[in-house]
Amino acid sequence: MSRTAIISDIHSNYHALYAVMTDAFDQENCTEVACLGDIVGYNAFPGTCLDYIRQLNCPVVKGNHDAEVVNPVYEKMNDLAREAMEWTVRQLTDEQLQWLARLQYQRMVRPHGTRAASFTIVHSTLDQPKAWNYIINSNDAAGNFNKQFSQLCFHGHTHVPKIYAWDGRHAEEDYDFKHRLVMNGYAELCPAEGHKYFVNVGSVGQPRDNDPRACYAIFDSDTNVVIMKRVPYDIAGAQNAIIEAGLPAYLAERLAVGC
Ligand code: ZN
């Protein structure tokens, strides 16, 4: 049996990462992890989150914040982003930055013990992984499928969990899945043969879909089922750490409302 926890956009929120990994290992019996990038940025524990991900020794792809912290272009950031980025850069060692710099933009992942089932991971899109485009609707998603050579591709970047399905001609968002996730904090996808799926796993450390709970996905390679779930975590603890670090208060406030 192989269940892989698929996590994205941790953004230095160790309180959320700890809650998600505890859920994945203790409740969901995950034995593997794949990380879709944006480990750092915004919140108060960039080094701790980075070290935690590294000791998992799991597949990781590069996010735009992981790229920016190595090579910051401050002129392109708003004041809040710049302030948080400058603080983050100061927290990381040269060795940690070099590790982030070496990350690939996309990877194929084959869970242990499986022969057929493998999936693709990318932070933004497969058609232009270095452009950091945001996939907001099914039109945006359509371009990705030409470059998707596995039935499942997992991505992040928008911090909003959703699934796009491709029937060979059209991309369509799975609104039923989204509804079930909103209503129950949990939803399952059974991929249909002949279809491809571009799955946004949401964000561990800074959800932006008005649900402040952490979000992550699980891929069960025995049943070929994708699960997405929300996990409560110590938001007040994460907020206090942001304030104590001297980071912008807005970064703490947004965690409470998930925006
Ligand atoms: Zn992000």
Instruction: Find the 114 Cα to ligand 1 centroid distance in Å.
Output: 30
Instruction: Find the 115 Cα to ligand 1 centroid distance in Å.
Output: 32
pTM: 0.96
Residue 66 has which token pair?
Answer: 């992981």
List the single range of 115-124, 190-199, 237-246 with lowest mean pLDDT: 115-124
- pLDDT tens per residue, range 143-155: 999 999 999 999 9
- Distance separating the N- and C-terminal Cα atoms of the chain: 36
Relative to beta strand 32-35, strand 3-7 is parallel
Instruction: Find the 40 Cα to ligand 1 centroid distance in Å.
Output: 9
CB contact at 8 A, 69 and 115: no
CB contact at 8 A, 39 and 257: no
Instruction: Find the 160 Cα to ligand 1 centroid distance in Å.
Output: 10
Task: Compute the distance between CA of residue 60 and CA of residue 104 in angstroms, rounded to an integer.
Answer: 8
- pLDDT tens per residue, range 60-98: 999 999 999 999 988 888 888 888 899 999 999 999 999
* Residue environment code for 136-173, b if the CB has 16+ CB neighbours within 10 A, otherwise e: eebebbbebbeebebbbbbbbbbbbbbbbbbeeeebee
Task: Compute the distance between CA of residue 255 and CA of residue 259 in angstroms, rounded to an integer.
Answer: 7
- pLDDT tens per residue, range 217-247: 999 998 999 999 999 999 999 999 999 999 9
